[in-house]
Structure 1
Amino acid sequence: MITSKPTATAPRASKLFPWTALLITTLARAQSQAIDDTPIPPIFVTANPLGSSTLVSPTSALSGNALTLRRADSIGETLNGLPGVSTTTYGPMVGRPIIRGMDGDRIRMLQNGVAAYDASSLSYDHAVPQDALSVERVEIVRGPAALLYGGNAIGGVVNTIDNRIPRESIEGVSGQVDASYGGANDARAGAAQVEGGNGRFAFHVDAFDRDTSNERIPGFAHSDRQRALDGPDVAQPYGRIPNSDGRWHGGAVGSSYTWADGYAGVSYNGYDANYGSVAEDDVRLRMHQDHIAAASEIRNLQGPFTQLKFDFAYTDYEHREIDDGETGTTFRNHGYEARVEARHRKIGPLDGAIGVQLSQNTFSALGDEALVPTSQTTNAALFGLEEWSVTDALKLSIGARYEHVNIDPTSGGNEKFAGSPKRDFNAGSISAGALFKLNSAWSLVGNVAYTERAPTYYELYSNGPHDATGQYLIGNPDAQKEKAISTDLSFRFANGPNKASAGVFYSRFRNYLTEFNTGRLVNDDDEPVPPGTDDALNEAVYRGVRAEFYGVELDGTWRVFAKGAQRLDVEFVADYTHARNMDTGEALPRISPLRATLALDYAYGPYGARTELVHAWAQNRVPENDLPTGSYTTLGVILTYKFRIGSTNWLAYLRGQNLTNQEVRYASSVVRDIAPEGGRSVMIGLRTAF
């Protein structure tokens, strides 16, 4: 958790929960040079169970004002553009993060350190049931360091952190309210939370709602190349994407008991969504998730362990795909995950932690168009991390994880799944890293890891139509473990408000499992049909190949002007990922091209202004049956004003996006040729903390 000095513009810390004080002081610090804005290194809960603020792993984090001004309709779009991070899209409401070109089951999506089960990794039209309005902090861990969370975190970890289980004592009552309107889809969004306590017992209540219309676009929904393939008789939507509207709403309650050396608490949150599939005008997806969590931490223990941390979550998830008013398929996923971390006393020079993680979930797809059999996945894992501060300038780390994965399918009377084999996998991973401080400002950081990932139920057993994506998916029941060697190397610079990082990464896979289009059009029974046939589906298969990923990540912030209450920062972010099938030399699908962002961030007392220019180059390296995407350049502007009414802090903001009204098609989107990103938009918002 980040800590902040009390300021004259923030309410007394004793009257507010520390996270609320953090938000208020962050907003004030971002807007006023009169307040001490010396950066305080954050402690990344996700990246390091030892609580160190000096990290060997490549990480990014969003919280406070920065998170507020990036919030979008999906968690993927909220994080899109951070170093190495892109997003899947399936209309404005659906987006799951992609890290270094890897998506699906290679990215671990966590809530407060443990899984909240859904179906988002199965298919690109399945949304992550979480709204950024309910999140206080997001941590992203890229590369080898993520292996502590399992083989299916080989690409990285995205951990959203909230305070639904208060971790520190609260005295009195505090709260936050956020409301906004606008954007290319006329989004109406709002959230509120209240927290209180008597110094021992604490409670948290929050609620959020988001309602959107069909997304406005600058031209045709279908790309030039797609329209040429469609032929003259296909209707061509223009100006808006049909069936791209939706609504999210939900809320949570939580409580905890706190004491000087720890806390223990429970929470419940519910989530509902109803949104359209942009690939099928008549298909709606209705989603519901119930999530129960428990967490505890005990510090300053006697004996071999100084700290114990426990996290548990049970999730019951369901969504229905409704085609022209009839439910075609019902997806269900329910199960639990528990994680215990224990930090031990120093063993010689070693400072470390060990842990155990247990999980079990059952996934089913029920109906005439069942895509996968009912499958129960059980996972048991041991993991550990050790650090050695060799000198003041050199720190070494090593981490390891061993897990057993069991996948047990049941046909449920569906003949096409009869005989699906039960599979067991033992997967081991190990990583090592080093951080060397060249001087007080510069450091060199390197990591290397060997990782194994067991295939998922859908990579093994898929065999059915999926109308929402317009595909017929076929799995590989004989698929073997995915194995990879990964490494990254970066230079880092930090001197007051000036920061920079330049890094390279490389990953080499054996048996990289991914989805390939076969080029065939088929019906619901996987029988070939001619082009133009109603309800024709693109056949896609999961196939293991040798693959490699490599790329570059750059980011930096430089304060070019500071005088009195004024400051001006220049920010730069760029990334590039190259991914190929080593067996054929062909590009892997849905890889973002070279991207660069240049921003100017200005503050004068309570006023702030940010201008952001984003350019993405064309992506012509695509598989044989995919279409390339063109380049685009977008301009964004954010204006902010902070003020106080009594003891309440306020932030008003105006955000303009894609002001040049460019046609934007993400190479990472499976529907890029039929559903581009939104056109010119303006959003107005107001946030308050009391």
Structure 2
Amino acid sequence: MSLPMTCRRSSPRLLSLCLAIAGALAAQSAIAADSSAATETSDDAAHPPASDTRHAEHAEKSKRAVDLDTVVVTASPLRTTAGDLGKPAAVLAGERLDEDRASSLGETVSSIPGVQSSNFGPGVGRPIIRGLDGPRVSVLSDGLSTEDVSTVSQDHSPAIEPFLADQIEVLKGPSTLLYGSGAIGGVVNVVDGRIPEEAIENGFGGRAEARFFGGDQDGTTDMARIDGGTDRFALHADAVYRNAKDYDTPDGVQANSFIDTKSGAVGGSLLGDWGFVGLSASRFEDGYGNPGEPGDLSAGERGVHLQLRQNRYDLKGGLKDLWGEGNGLRFSFGHTDYDHIEFEGDEPGTTFTKNANEGRVEATFGNRDAWQGAVGVQGTDSTFAAVGEESFVPQTTTRGYGAFGIARRSWGDFQLDFGARVDKVKSEPDAMASRDFTPLSLSLSGGWKLGENWRLTANLDHAERAPVEEELFANGPHIATLAYEVGDPNLDKEAANQLELGLQYKSSLVDAKVSAYYNRFKDFIYLVDTGDQWYWDEENDYLPIRQWSQSNAIFRGFEGEATFHLADNDSGRWDLRAFGDTVRATLADGGGNVPRIPPSRLGAQLRWENGDWRASLGATRVNRQDKVATNETPTAGYTMIDAHAARHFDTGNVGWELFVDGTNLTNQVGRVHTSFLKDDVELPGRSFDVGVRVFF
């Protein structure tokens, strides 16, 4: 097998990747010649394996994008499709995910209505769901927390790699019922398939990608994944390497915005008619600059940068049909060992560490013709520490235990879901009094099919959140946000009561969904600028003093999207997608606006497919945000125009895809309002990615 021209003319590092791909393809051909047909399974309690997804997307030349409403949401114990969930959810998979993948998780999911990204340069982007971020949005890796320190500070990156995801699930609104108080704003679950749950189709498969950045960004991202085995066992391996230099903006170079990421994992499972059980081990390394403190390279002064490392070990299993068809038991356990060092120039500064264990067991019961339900327990134990100049939070051990139950029943065209959860959370800081909390969550939702095309949903949620370490115990200079932060060890738990109404319409011409929500918080925890200053001797400068405080607050918003199927004829298939979202957040009793709330957006994308070709052109208008808190500055709006094009072709059992992506084609100046660095950091200017994907 000869290498494609892209590989033969590439860098030595990419050439090595291509040689590895070619070797894997040769092995695949040998295995395919001797292997029998793959064992077919139909377990509703497991998400589709990576091989099924791959072949569904790429086996036919006249392919269509995955219908994301039919993808099973694994973050729901009942394994419901996104279109049938009573609660608002969205899934990225298939071609849509390939086109949206970015260096950060937040940027990857930001095309979903109601979801935006924080920003601390290209190395950091945490999801913001309906104006809520940080410890209110739980980021999961196959159903368990990533257990990093990204909630402690906005310059800390989540320890997760979006380029390795099979699908990314977003649960919008309070999801504390399933995942505890850290999910009062929502959940982002990255499904990576590192522990296979079913036999690999044809006994062997995988994918690889080499992507080159151009224009105002300069760098590469390479990834490879291999799955193999028999009907009795399955093995998995993956790896990603990303390296990008400081990017350009319309106003010049954004200094200290480099990224250098390495990630990899191995995993395996034993399989059978009884279910599966498997293990995985992974390592995530990330190095990136803090563009808010760029240093002065002309004077030989390097800027502040972070070096992150996490080792993770996971156990997961599922037992089928233990007490009736479709009913079973799932369990998972994860251990993580995390640390990162913040370098000031070449000198190590503060070191952040976190060691954590998390376990989860859930059992399903009933059937779709009567009552369905699930009960489960979850426990976490973590120790966080920060040592160095920026150790503004003391070493803290946090333990949490929770139990939950959910139930569902359908009567004809009406579906009812309800559930409850109670947690016990204890935080024990060094040299300070410990705090105990008992958050309680309740949920009731209904869905009505109004004829053949319409579906109406209504949700009523009560959710509670225990304060986290930095909110309770912070006391010191937080250089990343250029402030002196003061916690309040007497904070009460935060409570939210949300009402949401949704409407869906689906026909041969239009797929549309809209939702409106009203969320009233009691004792909402936020960081307020006191107006006082702290004198910082080392820099001969002042830092503003910010205090973690509580107040009642109201969040209300609207979001929607619609895809219009314009034509499907000899010229190809033409679709127009339009979307928009807005959220308004105010403090009660005349307290003004909640700080750092994302601005409203409107967007549209025209998509074309014809045989092996596909292309799209889209524009997103991010509006001006002038509804700001005291001492917070407004942010100007901007319009981003993006384009994608790809050509798919097959050689035997191997699928190839050549692609080019363009972002910010009109070279607009864009600043992220939710970022503490918005006055100093711009988004990249006009940029292009070109690359090749291989599916085998």
The two structures have a TM-score, normalised by structure 1, of: 0.90
Distance 1:26 1:534 in 2: 59
Q: Which runs of 4+ in 1 moved over 6 A?
A: 35-40
Q: How does 1:324-343 map to 2 (within 5 A)?
A: 324-343=345-364
**Are positions 1:136 and 2:166 aligned together?**
yes
Taking a change above 3 Å as real, the CA distance of residues 535 and 267 of structure 1, as seen in their structure-2 partners, is farther
607-616 vs 665-674, greater mean Cα deviation: 665-674
Q: What secondary structure, in the 3-state scheme, does the structure 2 residue paired with 1:69 have?
A: helix
Q: Which of 47, 53, 75 pairs up with 1:46?
A: 75
Question: What residue in structure 1 maps to residue 16 of structure 2?
Answer: none
**Contact 2:146 / 2:158 at 8 angstroms: preserved in 1?**
no
Amino acid at match of 1:173: F
Q: Which of 507, 513, 536 pairs up with 1:501?
A: 513
Question: What residue in structure 2 maps to residue 196 of structure 1?
Answer: 228
**Are positions 1:398 and 2:418 aligned together?**
yes
Q: Which of 88, 91, 99 pairs up with 1:58?
A: 88
Q: Which of 603, 628, 632 pairs up with 2:634?
A: 628
Question: What residue in structure 2 maps to residue 23 of structure 1?
Answer: 54
Q: Deviations over 1:520-566 (max 9, x none)?
A: 342448xxx9xxx6454332211111111000011111101011471
Q: Deviations over 1:567-614 (max 9, x none)?
A: 000101100000011133411111111201111000111111100111
Question: What residue in structure 2 maps to residue 225 of structure 1?
Answer: none
Q: What secondary structure, in the 3-state scheme, does the structure 2 residue paired with 1:382 have?
A: strand
Amino acid at match of 1:205: A
**Are positions 1:612 and 2:618 aligned together?**
yes
Taking a change above 3 Å as real, the CA distance of residues 96 and 13 of structure 1, as seen in their structure-2 partners, is farther
Taking a change above 3 Å as real, the CA distance of residues 383 and 659 of structure 1, as seen in their structure-2 partners, is same
Percent identity over paired residues: 33
Question: What residue in structure 2 maps to residue 297 of structure 1?
Answer: 318
Q: How does 1:457-472 map to 2 (within 5 A)?
A: 457-472=469-484
Distance 2:483 2:308 in 1: 21
Question: What residue in structure 2 maps to residue 372 of structure 1?
Answer: 393
Taking a change above 3 Å as real, the CA distance of residues 27 and 572 of structure 1, as seen in their structure-2 partners, is farther
Q: How does 1:231-630 map to 2 (within 5 A)?
A: 239-281=252-294, 282-302=303-323, 306-345=327-366, 349-389=370-410, 391-410=411-430, 418=431, 420-496=432-508, 498-524=510-536, 534=540, 536-564=542-570, 566-630=572-636
**Contact 2:114 / 2:582 at 8 angstroms: preserved in 1?**
yes
Taking a change above 3 Å as real, the CA distance of residues 213 and 521 of structure 1, as seen in their structure-2 partners, is farther
Taking a change above 3 Å as real, the CA distance of residues 558 and 485 of structure 1, as seen in their structure-2 partners, is same
Q: What secondary structure, in the 3-state scheme, does the structure 2 residue paired with 1:671 have?
A: coil
Amino acid at match of 2:471: E
Structure 1 residue 512 displacement after superposition: 0.6
508-517 vs 304-313, greater mean Cα deviation: 304-313
Distance 1:255 1:55 in 2: 31
Distance 2:351 2:542 in 1: 21
Taking a change above 3 Å as real, the CA distance of residues 72 and 197 of structure 1, as seen in their structure-2 partners, is same
Q: What secondary structure, in the 3-state scheme, does the structure 1 residue paired with 2:54 have?
A: helix
Structure 1 residue 371 displacement after superposition: 1.3
**Contact 1:383 / 1:400 at 8 angstroms: preserved in 2?**
yes
Structure 1 residue 468 displacement after superposition: 2.7
Q: What secondary structure, in the 3-state scheme, does the structure 2 residue paired with 1:192 have?
A: strand
Amino acid at match of 1:43: V
Taking a change above 3 Å as real, the CA distance of residues 562 and 515 of structure 1, as seen in their structure-2 partners, is same
Taking a change above 3 Å as real, the CA distance of residues 565 and 163 of structure 1, as seen in their structure-2 partners, is farther
Question: What residue in structure 1 maps to residue 107 of structure 2?
Answer: 77
- Higher RCO (CA-CA < 8 Å; seq separation 6+): 1
Q: What secondary structure, in the 3-state scheme, does the structure 2 residue paired with 1:555 have?
A: strand
Taking a change above 3 Å as real, the CA distance of residues 24 and 240 of structure 1, as seen in their structure-2 partners, is farther
Structure 1 residue 346 displacement after superposition: 5.6
Distance 2:567 2:366 in 1: 46
Q: What secondary structure, in the 3-state scheme, does the structure 2 residue paired with 1:144 have?
A: coil
**Contact 1:342 / 1:355 at 8 angstroms: preserved in 2?**
yes
**Contact 2:58 / 2:655 at 8 angstroms: preserved in 1?**
no
Distance 1:468 1:165 in 2: 36
Question: What residue in structure 1 maps to residue 672 of structure 2?
Answer: 666
**Contact 1:642 / 1:649 at 8 angstroms: preserved in 2?**
yes
Q: What secondary structure, in the 3-state scheme, does the structure 1 residue paired with 2:97 have?
A: helix
Distance 2:500 2:414 in 1: 17
Distance 1:40 1:77 in 2: 21
Distance 1:38 1:681 in 2: 29
Taking a change above 3 Å as real, the CA distance of residues 32 and 521 of structure 1, as seen in their structure-2 partners, is farther
**Contact 1:321 / 1:468 at 8 angstroms: preserved in 2?**
no
Q: Give the unaligned 5+ runs of structure 2.
A: 1-31, 40-47, 295-302
Amino acid at match of 1:500: A
Structure 1 residue 169 displacement after superposition: 1.3
Aligned residue pairs: how many? 644
Question: What residue in structure 1 maps to residue 134 of structure 2?
Answer: 104
**Contact 1:164 / 1:254 at 8 angstroms: preserved in 2?**
yes
Distance 2:502 2:389 in 1: 51
576-585 vs 78-87, greater mean Cα deviation: 576-585
**Contact 1:47 / 1:59 at 8 angstroms: preserved in 2?**
no
Amino acid at match of 1:362: T
Taking a change above 3 Å as real, the CA distance of residues 36 and 678 of structure 1, as seen in their structure-2 partners, is closer
Structure 1 residue 19 displacement after superposition: 1.5
Taking a change above 3 Å as real, the CA distance of residues 28 and 487 of structure 1, as seen in their structure-2 partners, is farther
Amino acid at match of 1:269: S
Structure 1 residue 646 displacement after superposition: 2.4
Structure 1 residue 109 displacement after superposition: 0.6
Taking a change above 3 Å as real, the CA distance of residues 39 and 92 of structure 1, as seen in their structure-2 partners, is closer
Amino acid at match of 1:158: V
Amino acid at match of 1:599: Q
**Contact 2:57 / 2:65 at 8 angstroms: preserved in 1?**
no
Distance 1:13 1:689 in 2: 20
**Are positions 1:87 and 2:108 aligned together?**
no
Amino acid at match of 2:665: L
**Contact 1:405 / 1:426 at 8 angstroms: preserved in 2?**
yes
Taking a change above 3 Å as real, the CA distance of residues 327 and 351 of structure 1, as seen in their structure-2 partners, is same
**Contact 1:38 / 1:497 at 8 angstroms: preserved in 2?**
no
Taking a change above 3 Å as real, the CA distance of residues 249 and 580 of structure 1, as seen in their structure-2 partners, is same
Distance 2:642 2:306 in 1: 31
Amino acid at match of 2:548: Y
Q: Give the unaligned 5+ runs of structure 1.
A: 1-10, 220-238, 411-417
Q: What secondary structure, in the 3-state scheme, does the structure 2 residue paired with 1:65 have?
A: helix
Q: What secondary structure, in the 3-state scheme, does the structure 2 residue paired with 1:152 have?
A: helix
Question: What residue in structure 1 maps to residue 204 of structure 2?
Answer: 173
Amino acid at match of 2:213: G
Taking a change above 3 Å as real, the CA distance of residues 553 and 469 of structure 1, as seen in their structure-2 partners, is same
**Contact 1:116 / 1:313 at 8 angstroms: preserved in 2?**
no
**Contact 2:608 / 2:616 at 8 angstroms: preserved in 1?**
yes
Q: Deviations over 1:274-294 (max 9, x none)?
A: 111111122111100001001
Distance 1:569 1:449 in 2: 35
Structure 1 residue 327 displacement after superposition: 1.9
Q: Deviations over 1:398-450 (max 9, x none)?
A: 0111000010111xxxxxxx4x2100011101010000000111010010111
Q: Deviations over 1:160-196 (max 9, x none)?
A: 0011101001352212101101153313101001111
Q: What is the RMSD of the two structures over their aligned residues, measured on CA atoms?
A: 2.2
